[in-house]
Amino acid sequence: MTTEKTHIGQTRKRIGNFLKEIVTGDFLRNKHLIGQLDVIVWGVILAFIYMNNRMVCEQGFREIDRLRKELANEKYIAMITESQLLSTSRIGTIKELIEQHNLPLVEENKPSYQLIIKQEE
């Protein structure tokens, strides 16, 4: 029982010393930490590169989503415009418009002629 208490006491003492070293900055003087400083610097650089890459990718995805929505909207507008043009270009609609505006146009009953021009050599 006394060994458990001493073990818990030593653990608390180590944690307390570690926290004290962090607060006072003494852990920076640790030889092991100084030896691994180049690895730590590379890790920090890679972390910044990763974060920057992630932000650029997310911005690209947002731009792709915006363009997809804009494309869908433009397709919808084109479809509506095409259907309106098709409905106004029907023969019956054209005849109604001619009658409404009292235009002196008459539908031709003769078939159209095809002109053939012979080229002299």
Q: 5-27: per-residue pLDDT in tens?
A: 677 777 888 888 878 877 887 77
Write out pLDDT tens, residues 46-75: 999 999 999 999 999 999 999 999 999 999
- Tally DSSP H helices, then E strands, for the chain: 4, 0
Where exactly are the structural domains of the chain? 9-100
Token pair 């929505």 in the structure block, residue: 69
pTM for this structure?
0.49
Residue 100, pLDDT above cutoff 80? yes
Compute the half-sphere exposure of residue 21: CA atoms within 13 Å on the CB side of its CA.
12
The band of 4, judged by pLDDT with boundaries at 50, 70 and 90, is low
Rounded to an integer, what distance in angstroms lies between the CA atom of residue 30 and that of residue 22? 11
Residue 105 contacts residue 98 (beta carbons within 8 Å): yes
